[in-house]
């Protein structure tokens, strides 16, 4: 048996920063990270392998970060945990002892139970280099042939893959069960803008549509919708969501939560105080309602890693729940959502008041490459506190979402945002007079008092 002080299972967006944080907070600890994959992929970069980056090899988490932080790496698969003896066993036959264990086992793509789902050329976003190389190779073949791809699921992952496939010149159709793409995060008016941008790029949308079966003999040939319509397809991509990878935790007798993920407290401890769980495998709660929340994002995983890594031997950081900051791009446009939508605010018991503003993201608007940025902010009417925001515009939207995320976490209200000190520049931002966040706050403040 080999004994380490901190043992981390999983080496992606949760496991790696957990190791780095542990090293920062506990400089002398022996830290060991076990992961299955010879090479670890950057999870959010996966959609961009196909059209933008070119190959999975250019989308790897650098192992140099492990060496730099003196974290031992073992490529192996954990098969069981014995929490009473604080040991675990691996596929290679090894036994590891630990003082503290961090589970960062991630999630697996959901595979719908429909006929044909096991046909050749049905893919999903598996975090596996060889698997993605296979998808890449089949894309090359499809590009020689009829070039049709059907993406099942119109959430962020589906939209991103569709956009990348389209960049390669494929004929792409998204099939979404709900009335709109991105509907779980966006309000209708923003979903409509995103759908327009997808359509402008030549991506076809089948909304309010379910897939009955995937057609083909050996390889995929098409997709049949419930409506009876048949779509031609050389390749099908599944993007209907992911589920927490909890097998190891459940087998060890750790408690699962209502979202069928590993239950954790606000310090990221599981039901066993020496075992922490972080990232996609761990249960999440809402910042606003403290109720269970089905979010799985790399940014959340790394935050949980920074909390768990600091708490291993002393409780130093708390998780106050998830605001939820989403962002994505369609061509040169970007879209983002943070916190509560108007509808979600109402459902959570708030009385929402809305502030809207739109203006170019450079100034004057005649600057080259200036794009309209539209902002909708949701405030709590009685207190004026910011609850959420939705943004569509150009490529600076990403950091604009992070301004809003900060304002939400600091519970800033309409008047404080209206007089918030910001910087502006012709080549970098909207003008100070038209700055969208400020004007949306002013708009809402007037509505609050009326």
Applying CB under 8 A, which of residues 93, 145, 349, 423 lies at the interface with a copy of itself?
Answer: 423
Q: Which helix (H) or strand (E) holds 380?
A: strand 372-380
Is residue 354 a contact residue for a copy of itself (CB under 8 A)?
no
Work out whether the CA dihedral 55, 57, 60, 64 comes out positive or negative: negative
Applying CB under 8 A, which of residues 80, 227, 274, 427 lies at the interface with a copy of itself?
Answer: 427
Cα–Cα distance for residue pair 445/450, rounded to 1 Å: 9
At closest approach, how far in Å is the CB of 228 from a copy of itself?
37
Listed ranges 72-80, 128-136, 235-243, 405-413: which one lies at the site for a copy of itself (CB under 8 A): 405-413
Cα–Cα distance for residue pair 187/377, rounded to 1 Å: 12
Asked if residues 2 and 93 have their Cβ atoms less than 8 Å apart, the reply is no
Asked if residues 103 and 10 have their Cβ atoms less than 8 Å apart, the reply is yes
Query: Which CB, 3 or 168, lies closer to a copy of itself?
Result: 168
Is residue 356 a contact residue for a copy of itself (CB under 8 A)?
no
Is residue 425 a contact residue for a copy of itself (CB under 8 A)?
yes
Is residue 336 a contact residue for a copy of itself (CB under 8 A)?
yes
List binders of a copy of itself among 273-292 (CB under 8 A): 287
> Per the structure block, which two tokens stand in for 54?
């070119």
Query: Which CB, 96 or 186, lies closer to a copy of itself?
Result: 186
HSE-up of residue 186 (Cα within 13 Å, Cβ side): 26
Say if residue 86 is preceded by a cis peptide, omega within 30 of 0.
no
Other Cβ atoms within 10 Å of 39 Cβ, number: 16
Q: How far is CA 42 from CA 57, 58, 190, in A?
A: 10, 9, 28
Listed ranges 41-49, 130-138, 199-207, 236-244: which one lies at the site for a copy of itself (CB under 8 A): 41-49
Applying CB under 8 A, which of residues 203, 405, 413, 440 lies at the interface with a copy of itself?
Answer: 405
Buried b (16+ CB within 10 A) or exposed e, 295-305: bbbbbbbbbbb
Is residue 17 a contact residue for a copy of itself (CB under 8 A)?
yes
List binders of a copy of itself among 384-403 (CB under 8 A): 395-403
At closest approach, how far in Å is the CB of 94 from a copy of itself?
27
Is residue 300 a contact residue for a copy of itself (CB under 8 A)?
yes
List binders of a copy of itself among 58-87 (CB under 8 A): 58-61, 65
Is residue 6 a contact residue for a copy of itself (CB under 8 A)?
no
Applying CB under 8 A, which of residues 306, 374, 376, 448 lies at the interface with a copy of itself?
Answer: 306
At closest approach, how far in Å is the CB of 336 from a copy of itself?
7
Is residue 412 a contact residue for a copy of itself (CB under 8 A)?
yes
Cα–Cα distance for residue pair 129/126, rounded to 1 Å: 8
Query: Which CB, 47 or 216, lies closer to a copy of itself?
Result: 47
Enumerate the β-bridge partners of residue 175.
Answer: 152, 206
Asked if residues 22 and 29 have their Cβ atoms less than 8 Å apart, the reply is yes
Helix (H, G, I), strand (E, B) or coil at 81: strand
Total of residues contacting a copy of itself (CB under 8 A): 84
Is residue 194 a contact residue for a copy of itself (CB under 8 A)?
no
Applying CB under 8 A, which of residues 8, 9, 33, 42 lies at the interface with a copy of itself?
Answer: 42
Is residue 145 a contact residue for a copy of itself (CB under 8 A)?
no
At closest approach, how far in Å is the CB of 275 from a copy of itself?
20
Applying CB under 8 A, which of residues 115, 169, 253, 432 lies at the interface with a copy of itself?
Answer: 432
> What is the DSSP code string of 102-135?
EE---EEE-----TTTTSBTEEE--S-HHHHHHH
């Amino acid at each position: 048996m080999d004994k380490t002080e901190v043992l981390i299972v999983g080496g992606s967006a949760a496991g790696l920063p957990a190791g780095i944080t542990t090293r920062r907070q506990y400089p002398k600890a022996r830290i060991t990270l076990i992961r299955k994959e010879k090479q670890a992929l950057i999870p959010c970069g996966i959609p961009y392998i196909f059209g933008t980056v070119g190959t999975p090899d250019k989308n790897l988490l650098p192992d140099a970060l492990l060496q730099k932080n003196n974290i031992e790496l073992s490529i192996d698969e954990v098969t069981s945990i014995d929490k009473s003896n604080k040991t675990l066993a691996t596929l290679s036959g090894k036994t590891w002892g630990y003082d503290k264990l961090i589970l960062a086992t991630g999630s697996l793509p959901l595979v719908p139970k429909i006929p044909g789902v096991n046909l050749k050329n049905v893919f999903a976003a598996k975090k596996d280099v060889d698997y993605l190389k296979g998808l890449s190779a089949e894309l090359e073949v499809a590009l020689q042939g009829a070039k049709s791809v059907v993406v099942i699921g119109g959430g962020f992952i589906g939209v991103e893959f569709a956009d990348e496939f389209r960049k390669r010149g494929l004929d792409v159709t998204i099939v979404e069960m709900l009335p709109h793409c991105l509907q779980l995060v966006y309000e209708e008016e923003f979903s409509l803008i995103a759908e327009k941008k997808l359509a402008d790029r030549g991506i076809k949308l089948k909304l309010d549509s379910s897939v009955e079966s995937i057609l083909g003999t050996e390889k995929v040939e098409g997709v049949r919708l419930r409506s009876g319509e048949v779509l031609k397809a050389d390749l099908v991509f599944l993007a209907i969501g992911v589920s927490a990878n909890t097998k190891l935790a459940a087998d060890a007798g750790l408690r699962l939560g209502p979202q069928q993920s590993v239950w954790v407290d606000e310090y990221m401890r599981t039901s066993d105080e020496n075992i922490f769980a972080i990232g996609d495998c761990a249960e999440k709660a809402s910042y606003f309602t403290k109720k269970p929340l089905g979010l799985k994002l790399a940014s959340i995983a790394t935050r949980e890693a920074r909390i768990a890594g600091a708490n291993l031997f002393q409780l130093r950081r708390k998780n106050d729940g998830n605001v939820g900051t989403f962002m994505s791009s369609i061509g040169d446009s970007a879209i983002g959502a943070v916190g509560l939508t108007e509808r979600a605010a109402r459902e959570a018991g708030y009385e929402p008041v809305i502030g809207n503003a739109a203006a170019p993201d450079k100034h004057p608007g005649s600057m080259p490459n200036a794009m309209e940025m539209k902002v909708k902010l949701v405030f709590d009417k009685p207190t004026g506190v910011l609850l959420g925001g939705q943004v569509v515009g150009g490529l600076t939207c990403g950091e604009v979402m992070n301004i809003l995320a900060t304002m939400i976490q600091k519970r800033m209200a309409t008047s404080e945002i209206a007089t918030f000190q910001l910087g502006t520049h012709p080549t970098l931002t909207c003008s100070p007079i038209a700055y969208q966040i400020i004007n949306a706050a002013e708009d809402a403040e007037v509505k609050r008092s009326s």
